[in-house]
Amino acid sequence: MIRWLRFVATATVILSMIGLGVIAGLFLVANSGWIAVEIPPWLRGLFGDRPHEVWLPGLIGGWLASAILLAAIILWSMFYVWRRRQYESLIGRLERELAKLRNMPFENPAPFEDLPEVPSAAAARIRRSLDDQGDDLSA
């Protein structure tokens, strides 16, 4: 069901983009003249005082390209912020889990069930002999 909906949504987007492209193309062909663009007063020092002839489809295409580029940058930055927040959340969860694991011996120490109830005399003799050998080696 989800794959079918995704397929229909993708097809709708592709067909609508093709339709918008055809409409924009026909609009630009119908308005394929040259127009005079007047320079604003604050840019006259850079471009001069005379009006400039601009091809209308190129002008409209530039506006559309600028708008699409701006929308793409905004969408990319929103996606970047969203992914960064996900990564920071994951790092925070991992750090909390690691802190919990580091503090586990203090908060929940292991029981002494692996140690015998009464000390072993043989283990005490071995330990005493190892201590005596250690004293001989250090001298």
pTM to 2 decimal places: 0.48
DSSP classification of residue 55: E
Q: How do the pLDDT tens digits run along the chain, 139 residues long?
A: 678 888 898 999 899 989 888 887 777 777 778 888 888 888 888 878 887 788 888 888 888 889 999 999 999 999 999 999 999 999 999 999 998 888 777 777 766 676 667 778 888 888 888 888 866 555 4
- Give me the residue label for tokens 């390209």: 65
Question: Rounded CA gap, 58 and 65, in Å?
Answer: 10
